[in-house]
Chains A and B, each alone.
Chain A
Amino acid sequence: NAGVTQTPKFRILKIGQSMTLQCTQDMNHNYMYWYRQDPGMGLKLIYYSVGAGITDKGEVPNGYNVSRSTTEDFPLRLELAAPSQTSVYFCASGTGGVYEQYFGPGTRLTVT
């Protein structure tokens, strides 16, 4: 079992570029989440999905987009990257909001 996988591990973007962070889980979880973690801070929810075809905004959705066409995949799209999006991005999956979440290894993104 691979669990939750994320690619890439590291990325440097120039201001205004776009990119997609990939997330895949093999645990057949309906719920998937994208978080960002800024230095010395806890996690902030960007977007989440309760099943294929259903997505919703979290606390900090501006500048990001998501899609969920399959149970396994939940890509996060950054459009027009800005320095404020420099962060570590974590994808997670789980069986529901009241249950634990399982996290990917993270993607460290720098926008310069």
Chain B
Amino acid sequence: AQKVTQAQTEISVVEKEDVTLDCVYETRDTTYYLFWYKQPPSGELVFLIRRNSFDEQNEISGRYSWNFQKSTSSFNFTITASQVVDSAVYFCALSEEDSNYQLIWGAGTKLIIKP
């Protein structure tokens, strides 16, 4: 079974729309860490956020926000008022003791923002 599931393979929206990228994870550990990374068309991987399992507070950073819900094992990412520069592949990843704290990656969601 996949430990990190990003069910949306590709999402396409028009600029200025809000968009939410879903991430569902699976772990038996009580202490674990969740991450989001961005991979723009240029190919590099850029760290966006890290969350530990004991901190369920939502996080907002400018137009980006993250919703962590342990009850549904989800760590969703919302971009408000999307811009063309947000076009990228976004990866969710899990770090848990059961996997020796190695990052387990989702398959990624390709986000296309049309002008």
CB of A29 to closest CB in B, whole Å? 13
Whether A98 lies near B101 (C-beta < 8 A) is yes
Mostly, the A contact residues are: loop
Give the distance in Å from the alpha carbon of A42 to the alpha carbon of B93 in the complex.
9
- Total number of residue pairs linking A and B with CB closer than 8 Å: 49
Whether B101 lies near A100 (C-beta < 8 A) is no
Task: Give how many A residues have a beta carbon under 8 Å from the other chain's beta carbons.
Answer: 23
Whether A90 lies near B101 (C-beta < 8 A) is no
Query: Could you say which of B13-21, B43-51, B61-69, B78-86 contacts chain A?
Result: B43-51
Determine the chain B residues whose CB is within 8 A of the CB of A44 once the complex forms.
105
From A43, A59, A92, A97, B101 is in contact (CB under 8 Å) with: A97
> Which B positions have Cβ atoms within 8 angstroms of A?
4, 33, 35, 43-47, 50, 52, 91, 93, 95, 100-103, 105-108
Beyond A101-B47, A105-B43, 15 additional contacts (C-beta under 8 Å) are: A42-B4, A42-B105, A43-B45, A43-B105, A88-B43, A96-B101, A97-B103, A98-B95, A98-B101, A100-B35, A100-B47, A103-B44, A104-B44, A105-B44, A106-B43
Pull 26 A–B residue pairs with CB atoms less than 8 Å apart, ordered by A: A40-B107, A40-B108, A41-B107, A41-B108, A42-B4, A42-B93, A42-B105, A42-B107, A43-B45, A43-B105, A58-B102, A90-B45, A96-B101, A97-B95, A97-B101, A97-B102, A98-B33, A98-B52, A98-B101, A99-B50, A100-B50, A101-B47, A102-B47, A103-B44, A105-B44, A106-B43
